[in-house]
Structure 1
Amino acid sequence: MDVRKDAAILHAARRLLLQGGPAQLTMEAVAQASGVSKATLYRRWPDRDALLRALVAHEAAPLLHTLHTVPPDEEALVRALVRFLDGLLRFVTRPAYRRYLQAVAALPQRRADLRRIWLLGPQQAVDEVAALLQRYAEQRGAVCAEAPREAEALIGMAMGLDMARVLYQQPPRHQRAAARRCHLVWVVRRFVAGLALGPGRQAGG
């Protein structure tokens, strides 16, 4: 496989997706935009759904990778969460992503496409944060019984009303990197201080 050709295809698919939402992502459009034949495209991804899944996974991977750790202590957990949330906010407040969300809201889209993007994007982010919280709890001999709920609450605290600002075409609250990071450190420290951990299972219990 030609890695450069794969990268060109995913880049073209990403551009189409951001311009008009998943409705714009057709095999014909991607082949034309990337300068490859449809036969070449189909050899790599058998259908449009496979291409969409690959694209969302490709976009999410660098962000989710920051959560693949086992925090040994509270400070390590804070650093991991701040790093992840900083990447997340930078991603969702970029002009291209803002235009994408506005296009999704304004143009007809297939519900199945939106659900697939939801599961591979936002929902996977919640799942990965929840898994990180569980690993942190286990490291301390405890459990985080409400990890999915805690994870979603944390992401909501970090993002605030920025998604609403996107839809109303308002600028994000924290545009400067220093202000954004200061906000995230404040959010994460408050979150970790209130994180509910329960006793872990006793050996043989």
Structure 2
Amino acid sequence: MLSAALRLLNALSLLMWPFIVLLVATHPQWHILFWPLGAVFALRWWMLRGARSEMSRLGARLALFGAIFTCCAGALRSLHLLMWYPVLVNLLLLSLFASSLRGPASLVERIARLSEPELSPQGVSYTRRVTQLWSLFFLFNGSVAAATCLAGNIHWWTLWNGGISYLLTGSLMAGEWLLRQRIRQKHENITG
């Protein structure tokens, strides 16, 4: 129960990150939020520190960096470090997806095989292309996030990292899902 509540709190912290940073930037009296937020990240890292799956290890790294970033920002009373967290998230996701392309099975293929162990050669090829697409997306998204950090405009930064980036991510997920359903249906019509 505690683990599920902590996962939910951590997910909300990640989703709300740009808005928390904006709140603190525009209302400095809210700097106190960094300490409980850092504690949530630290507790999440503690729970995931021995994780075995790639995604859980990624979650542990993100939680650890989140704790470090928020505690440093609280101690230094500086928001600039917090603005780089989305860049780090994209960099770690890019690393995870892109590095899987060097192995025998891409990350998306391994995820697909959880529900469909006997993946066809066409499915393997498709999941490889999807992994490449996500890698390019994380490279693009992280680059724009870095540009907004360098620009130093908190409103542009929040617009990108708390709005446009989320819309693009959701659109890519939905578009890929629709395409996958269409390809699956076409394949079933050919083989059926």
Short-chain TM bin: 0.3 to 0.5
Whose relative contact order is higher, 1 or 2, with alpha carbons under 8 Å and at least 6 apart?
A: 1
Structure in which a larger fraction of residues adopt helix: 2
TM-score (ref. length: structure 2): 0.33
TM-score (ref. length: structure 1): 0.31
